[in-house]
Structure 1
Amino acid sequence: MSEYVLSIRARIGNDLLLLPGVTAVIRESDRFLLARHAHSGLWSLIGGGIEPGETPEEAVAREVFEETGARVRVSGIVGAYGGAPLEVVYPNGDRVAYVAVAYHCRLLGRASPDLDELLELGWFDQEAIAALPRREWIDAVIADVARSLNAGH
Protein backbone atom coordinates (compact mmCIF):
# COMPACT_ATOMS: atom_id res chain seq x y z
CA MET A 1 0.00 0.00 0.00
CA SER A 2 1.34 3.42 -0.94
CA GLU A 3 2.15 6.09 1.61
CA TYR A 4 -0.65 8.18 0.10
CA VAL A 5 -3.29 5.49 0.65
CA LEU A 6 -1.89 4.72 4.12
CA SER A 7 -2.35 8.39 5.08
CA ILE A 8 -5.98 8.34 3.90
CA ARG A 9 -6.62 5.01 5.65
CA ALA A 10 -5.30 6.53 8.91
CA ARG A 11 -8.18 9.00 8.70
CA ILE A 12 -11.03 6.91 7.25
CA GLY A 13 -10.24 3.40 8.49
CA ASN A 14 -11.75 0.63 6.36
CA ASP A 15 -14.44 2.86 4.77
CA LEU A 16 -14.90 2.80 1.00
CA LEU A 17 -12.14 4.63 -0.87
CA LEU A 18 -12.50 5.52 -4.57
CA LEU A 19 -9.11 5.19 -6.29
CA PRO A 20 -7.84 5.68 -9.83
CA GLY A 21 -6.24 2.58 -11.25
CA VAL A 22 -4.67 1.10 -14.36
CA THR A 23 -4.54 -2.34 -15.87
CA ALA A 24 -2.28 -3.81 -18.53
CA VAL A 25 -3.67 -5.83 -21.42
CA ILE A 26 -0.65 -7.88 -22.47
CA ARG A 27 -1.46 -10.12 -25.41
CA GLU A 28 0.45 -12.56 -27.60
CA SER A 29 -1.62 -13.76 -30.55
CA ASP A 30 -4.93 -14.89 -28.98
CA ARG A 31 -3.57 -15.30 -25.43
CA PHE A 32 -3.60 -12.80 -22.56
CA LEU A 33 -1.17 -12.60 -19.64
CA LEU A 34 -3.02 -12.94 -16.33
CA ALA A 35 -1.84 -12.98 -12.73
CA ARG A 36 -3.29 -14.99 -9.85
CA HIS A 37 -3.28 -12.71 -6.81
CA ALA A 38 -2.14 -13.92 -3.40
CA HIS A 39 -4.77 -11.95 -1.41
CA SER A 40 -7.74 -13.44 -3.29
CA GLY A 41 -6.53 -16.47 -5.26
CA LEU A 42 -8.33 -15.00 -8.27
CA TRP A 43 -6.91 -14.42 -11.74
CA SER A 44 -6.91 -10.90 -13.17
CA LEU A 45 -5.07 -8.58 -15.49
CA ILE A 46 -1.97 -6.93 -14.03
CA GLY A 47 -2.48 -3.47 -12.59
CA GLY A 48 -2.92 -1.30 -9.57
CA GLY A 49 -3.30 2.23 -8.27
CA ILE A 50 -1.97 5.44 -9.73
CA GLU A 51 0.38 7.26 -7.35
CA PRO A 52 0.21 11.05 -6.82
CA GLY A 53 2.21 12.86 -9.50
CA GLU A 54 2.27 9.79 -11.76
CA THR A 55 0.67 9.63 -15.21
CA PRO A 56 -1.56 6.64 -15.90
CA GLU A 57 0.94 5.39 -18.51
CA GLU A 58 3.76 5.58 -15.97
CA ALA A 59 1.57 3.77 -13.43
CA VAL A 60 0.76 0.84 -15.72
CA ALA A 61 4.43 0.42 -16.65
CA ARG A 62 5.44 0.57 -12.97
CA GLU A 63 2.77 -1.90 -11.89
CA VAL A 64 3.78 -4.44 -14.55
CA PHE A 65 7.43 -4.07 -13.56
CA GLU A 66 6.67 -4.40 -9.83
CA GLU A 67 4.50 -7.48 -10.31
CA THR A 68 6.48 -9.26 -13.06
CA GLY A 69 9.97 -7.73 -13.30
CA ALA A 70 9.32 -7.03 -17.00
CA ARG A 71 9.21 -3.75 -18.86
CA VAL A 72 6.37 -2.92 -21.24
CA ARG A 73 5.69 -0.57 -24.11
CA VAL A 74 2.31 1.13 -23.68
CA SER A 75 0.59 1.50 -27.05
CA GLY A 76 -2.91 2.82 -26.41
CA ILE A 77 -6.06 2.76 -24.34
CA VAL A 78 -8.49 -0.17 -24.44
CA GLY A 79 -11.12 1.58 -22.32
CA ALA A 80 -12.15 2.85 -18.88
CA TYR A 81 -13.94 0.64 -16.34
CA GLY A 82 -15.58 1.11 -12.96
CA GLY A 83 -18.66 0.49 -10.91
CA ALA A 84 -19.62 -2.40 -8.64
CA PRO A 85 -17.49 -5.01 -10.48
CA LEU A 86 -14.34 -3.09 -9.49
CA GLU A 87 -15.18 -2.87 -5.80
CA VAL A 88 -12.87 -4.94 -3.60
CA VAL A 89 -12.82 -5.79 0.08
CA TYR A 90 -9.29 -6.74 1.11
CA PRO A 91 -8.57 -9.35 3.83
CA ASN A 92 -7.89 -6.55 6.36
CA GLY A 93 -11.39 -5.12 5.72
CA ASP A 94 -10.31 -2.17 3.57
CA ARG A 95 -12.98 -1.36 0.98
CA VAL A 96 -11.85 0.08 -2.36
CA ALA A 97 -13.70 1.02 -5.54
CA TYR A 98 -11.38 1.40 -8.52
CA VAL A 99 -11.91 3.36 -11.71
CA ALA A 100 -9.39 1.74 -14.03
CA VAL A 101 -8.02 2.66 -17.43
CA ALA A 102 -6.92 -0.42 -19.38
CA TYR A 103 -3.92 -0.07 -21.69
CA HIS A 104 -2.63 -2.19 -24.55
CA CYS A 105 0.93 -3.14 -23.54
CA ARG A 106 3.68 -5.10 -25.25
CA LEU A 107 5.92 -7.17 -23.00
CA LEU A 108 9.60 -6.27 -23.55
CA GLY A 109 11.17 -9.01 -21.45
CA ARG A 110 10.49 -12.17 -19.57
CA ALA A 111 7.84 -11.96 -16.88
CA SER A 112 8.00 -13.82 -13.58
CA PRO A 113 5.65 -13.26 -10.65
CA ASP A 114 6.50 -11.16 -7.61
CA LEU A 115 5.65 -13.85 -5.08
CA ASP A 116 4.76 -11.27 -2.40
CA GLU A 117 1.72 -10.19 -4.43
CA LEU A 118 1.16 -12.98 -6.94
CA LEU A 119 0.87 -16.75 -6.81
CA GLU A 120 1.56 -17.23 -10.51
CA LEU A 121 1.35 -15.82 -14.03
CA GLY A 122 -0.25 -17.55 -17.00
CA TRP A 123 -1.15 -17.10 -20.65
CA PHE A 124 -4.79 -17.87 -21.52
CA ASP A 125 -7.07 -17.48 -24.51
CA GLN A 126 -10.54 -15.94 -24.09
CA GLU A 127 -12.26 -19.34 -23.76
CA ALA A 128 -9.85 -20.53 -21.06
CA ILE A 129 -10.22 -17.24 -19.16
CA ALA A 130 -13.98 -17.76 -18.96
CA ALA A 131 -13.36 -20.99 -17.01
CA LEU A 132 -10.91 -19.48 -14.50
CA PRO A 133 -11.74 -18.25 -11.00
CA ARG A 134 -11.23 -14.59 -11.87
CA ARG A 135 -12.16 -10.99 -11.28
CA GLU A 136 -15.12 -11.00 -13.65
CA TRP A 137 -14.69 -7.35 -14.68
CA ILE A 138 -11.77 -8.42 -16.87
CA ASP A 139 -14.31 -10.12 -19.19
CA ALA A 140 -15.46 -6.66 -20.35
CA VAL A 141 -11.86 -5.59 -21.01
CA ILE A 142 -11.05 -8.73 -22.98
CA ALA A 143 -14.32 -8.48 -24.92
CA ASP A 144 -13.43 -4.87 -25.83
CA VAL A 145 -10.02 -6.03 -27.10
CA ALA A 146 -11.64 -8.83 -29.14
CA ARG A 147 -14.18 -6.37 -30.63
CA SER A 148 -11.46 -3.92 -31.62
CA LEU A 149 -9.44 -6.73 -33.25
CA ASN A 150 -12.49 -7.94 -35.17
CA ALA A 151 -13.17 -4.38 -36.31
CA GLY A 152 -9.57 -4.12 -37.58
CA HIS A 153 -8.38 -1.48 -35.08
Structure 2
Amino acid sequence: MADYIMKVRKKVGTMPLVVSVAGCLILDEQNRVLMQHRKDNHQWSHPGGAVEVGEAVEDTVKREVFEETSLRVQDLELFNIYSGDSQHYIYPNGDEVYFVNVIYISKKYEGTPTVDLDETSDLRFFELNSLPQMTPNNQTILDDLKKTILY
Protein backbone atom coordinates (compact mmCIF):
# COMPACT_ATOMS: atom_id res chain seq x y z
CA MET A 1 0.00 0.00 0.00
CA ALA A 2 0.99 3.60 -0.45
CA ASP A 3 2.95 5.53 2.19
CA TYR A 4 -0.08 7.63 3.11
CA ILE A 5 -2.18 4.55 3.79
CA MET A 6 0.62 3.02 5.87
CA LYS A 7 0.72 6.15 8.03
CA VAL A 8 -3.06 6.08 8.49
CA ARG A 9 -2.93 2.37 9.36
CA LYS A 10 -0.50 3.10 12.21
CA LYS A 11 -3.17 5.32 13.74
CA VAL A 12 -6.36 3.33 13.06
CA GLY A 13 -5.22 -0.28 12.91
CA THR A 14 -7.19 -2.66 10.70
CA MET A 15 -10.55 -0.83 10.79
CA PRO A 16 -12.31 -0.39 7.43
CA LEU A 17 -10.98 2.51 5.35
CA VAL A 18 -12.27 4.05 2.15
CA VAL A 19 -9.21 4.07 -0.12
CA SER A 20 -8.93 5.80 -3.50
CA VAL A 21 -7.05 3.62 -5.96
CA ALA A 22 -6.42 3.71 -9.69
CA GLY A 23 -5.53 0.93 -12.09
CA CYS A 24 -5.09 0.12 -15.73
CA LEU A 25 -6.29 -2.65 -17.98
CA ILE A 26 -3.38 -2.91 -20.39
CA LEU A 27 -4.33 -4.67 -23.61
CA ASP A 28 -1.92 -5.98 -26.21
CA GLU A 29 -2.60 -6.23 -29.96
CA GLN A 30 -4.55 -9.50 -29.45
CA ASN A 31 -6.74 -7.89 -26.73
CA ARG A 32 -5.06 -9.94 -24.04
CA VAL A 33 -4.92 -8.20 -20.67
CA LEU A 34 -1.76 -7.82 -18.59
CA MET A 35 -2.14 -9.26 -15.09
CA GLN A 36 0.27 -9.27 -12.17
CA HIS A 37 0.58 -11.94 -9.52
CA ARG A 38 0.81 -9.92 -6.32
CA LYS A 39 3.09 -10.84 -3.44
CA ASP A 40 0.91 -9.28 -0.73
CA ASN A 41 -2.12 -11.54 -1.26
CA HIS A 42 -0.82 -14.12 -3.77
CA GLN A 43 -3.65 -13.24 -6.17
CA TRP A 44 -3.73 -12.00 -9.76
CA SER A 45 -4.88 -8.45 -10.51
CA HIS A 46 -4.47 -5.61 -12.96
CA PRO A 47 -1.65 -3.14 -12.17
CA GLY A 48 -2.61 -0.23 -9.96
CA GLY A 49 -2.49 1.14 -6.47
CA ALA A 50 -3.39 3.81 -3.96
CA VAL A 51 -3.64 7.48 -4.84
CA GLU A 52 -1.14 9.52 -2.82
CA VAL A 53 -2.12 12.81 -1.16
CA GLY A 54 -2.39 15.51 -3.83
CA GLU A 55 -1.87 13.09 -6.72
CA ALA A 56 -4.17 13.01 -9.76
CA VAL A 57 -5.58 9.55 -10.52
CA GLU A 58 -4.07 9.61 -14.03
CA ASP A 59 -0.66 10.20 -12.44
CA THR A 60 -1.31 7.37 -10.00
CA VAL A 61 -2.03 4.99 -12.88
CA LYS A 62 1.13 5.96 -14.74
CA ARG A 63 3.27 5.73 -11.59
CA GLU A 64 1.85 2.43 -10.37
CA VAL A 65 1.99 0.77 -13.79
CA PHE A 66 5.60 1.83 -14.23
CA GLU A 67 6.56 0.71 -10.69
CA GLU A 68 4.88 -2.68 -11.09
CA THR A 69 5.59 -3.46 -14.76
CA SER A 70 8.26 -1.03 -16.11
CA LEU A 71 5.74 -0.04 -18.81
CA ARG A 72 4.89 3.56 -19.66
CA VAL A 73 1.19 3.63 -20.52
CA GLN A 74 -0.16 6.17 -22.98
CA ASP A 75 -3.58 7.18 -24.29
CA LEU A 76 -5.38 6.37 -21.05
CA GLU A 77 -9.12 5.97 -21.56
CA LEU A 78 -11.45 5.98 -18.55
CA PHE A 79 -13.10 2.56 -18.34
CA ASN A 80 -15.22 2.78 -15.17
CA ILE A 81 -15.27 3.72 -11.51
CA TYR A 82 -16.03 0.97 -9.01
CA SER A 83 -17.07 1.41 -5.39
CA GLY A 84 -19.32 -0.06 -2.71
CA ASP A 85 -19.58 -3.67 -1.64
CA SER A 86 -18.01 -5.02 -4.86
CA GLN A 87 -14.79 -3.25 -3.86
CA HIS A 88 -14.62 -4.50 -0.27
CA TYR A 89 -11.42 -6.36 0.53
CA ILE A 90 -9.65 -7.67 3.62
CA TYR A 91 -5.90 -8.12 3.22
CA PRO A 92 -4.20 -11.22 4.67
CA ASN A 93 -2.90 -9.07 7.57
CA GLY A 94 -6.48 -8.05 8.49
CA ASP A 95 -6.45 -4.53 7.01
CA GLU A 96 -9.97 -3.87 5.70
CA VAL A 97 -10.72 -1.51 2.81
CA TYR A 98 -13.51 -0.32 0.57
CA PHE A 99 -11.83 0.82 -2.62
CA VAL A 100 -13.01 3.67 -4.80
CA ASN A 101 -11.36 2.19 -7.86
CA VAL A 102 -10.81 4.35 -10.95
CA ILE A 103 -9.99 2.06 -13.87
CA TYR A 104 -8.45 3.04 -17.19
CA ILE A 105 -7.70 1.11 -20.37
CA SER A 106 -4.55 1.51 -22.42
CA LYS A 107 -3.71 -0.22 -25.67
CA LYS A 108 -0.58 1.85 -26.16
CA TYR A 109 2.49 1.48 -24.00
CA GLU A 110 6.26 1.61 -24.19
CA GLY A 111 8.67 -0.91 -22.78
CA THR A 112 8.77 -4.58 -21.98
CA PRO A 113 6.84 -5.95 -18.99
CA THR A 114 9.32 -6.55 -16.18
CA VAL A 115 8.46 -8.01 -12.78
CA ASP A 116 8.84 -5.64 -9.83
CA LEU A 117 10.35 -7.96 -7.24
CA ASP A 118 8.98 -5.93 -4.30
CA GLU A 119 5.28 -6.28 -5.16
CA THR A 120 5.00 -8.80 -7.97
CA SER A 121 5.96 -12.42 -8.52
CA ASP A 122 4.78 -12.72 -12.15
CA LEU A 123 3.43 -10.66 -15.06
CA ARG A 124 1.54 -12.20 -17.97
CA PHE A 125 -0.87 -11.32 -20.74
CA PHE A 126 -4.01 -13.46 -20.51
CA GLU A 127 -6.75 -14.20 -23.01
CA LEU A 128 -10.03 -12.79 -21.68
CA ASN A 129 -11.58 -16.26 -21.88
CA SER A 130 -8.87 -17.82 -19.70
CA LEU A 131 -8.16 -15.41 -16.87
CA PRO A 132 -6.53 -16.62 -13.66
CA GLN A 133 -8.33 -16.65 -10.32
CA MET A 134 -8.34 -13.24 -8.70
CA THR A 135 -9.88 -11.36 -5.81
CA PRO A 136 -13.64 -10.63 -6.16
CA ASN A 137 -13.08 -6.87 -6.51
CA ASN A 138 -10.80 -7.51 -9.51
CA GLN A 139 -13.15 -10.16 -10.89
CA THR A 140 -15.94 -7.57 -11.18
CA ILE A 141 -13.70 -5.30 -13.24
CA LEU A 142 -12.45 -8.07 -15.54
CA ASP A 143 -16.00 -9.38 -16.02
CA ASP A 144 -16.96 -5.91 -17.28
CA LEU A 145 -13.91 -5.85 -19.57
CA LYS A 146 -14.93 -9.21 -21.06
CA LYS A 147 -18.45 -7.87 -21.75
CA THR A 148 -16.95 -4.82 -23.46
CA ILE A 149 -14.34 -6.62 -25.57
CA LEU A 150 -15.92 -10.00 -26.28
CA TYR A 151 -19.59 -9.13 -26.80
The letter of the residue matching 2:90 is V
CA contact (8 A) 2:2 2:52 kept: yes
Q: Confirm whether residue 78 of structure 1 aligns to residue 69 of structure 2.
A: no
Q: What is the match of residue 25 of structure 1?
A: 25
For residue 10 of structure 1, give the secondary structure of its aligned residue in structure 2. Answer: helix
CA RMSD in angstroms, aligned pairs only: 1.9
Query: Any idea what SS the aligned residue of 2:125 has?
Result: strand
Q: Aligned runs of 1:40-59 on 2, under 5 Å?
A: 40-59=41-60
Q: Deviations over 1:54-92 (max 9, x none)?
A: 111000000001111221114210001122332222232
1:121 is aligned to 123
Relative to structure 2, which stretch is displaced further, 29-38 or 55-64? 29-38
Following superposition, the deviation at residue 16 of structure 1 comes to 0.7
Alpha-carbon distance, 1:136 to partner? 3.1
> Using the alignment, how far apart are the partners of 1:120 and 1:37 within structure 2?
8
How many Å separate the matches in 2 of 1:69 and 1:76?
A: 20
Structure 1 SS opposite 2:122: strand
State the 1:122 CA deviation: 0.8
Residues 31-42 of structure 1: pairs in structure 2 closer than 5 A = 31-42=32-43
In the alignment, is the contact (CA less than 8 A) between 1:61 and 1:74 conserved in 2? Answer: no
- SS of the residue 1:52 aligns to: coil
C-alpha contact 1:33 1:124 (8 A) present in aligned 2: yes
Deviations 1:20-46 (A, max 9, x none): 111101001221000111122111111
Q: Distance in 1 between matches of 2:43 and 2:7?
A: 28
> Unaligned regions of 5+ residues in structure 1, if any?
none
For 2:67, the equivalent position in structure 1 comes to 66
- The offset of 1:147, in angstroms, is 4.1
Give the aligned partner of residue 9 of structure 2.
Answer: 9
Q: Which amino acid aligns with 1:115?
A: L
Report the TM-score, using the length of structure 1 for normalisation.
0.87
Number of aligned residues: 149
Paired residues of 2:86 and 2:140 also in contact (CA < 8 A): no
How high is the TM-score relative to the length of structure 2? 0.88
Shift of 1:143: 3.9
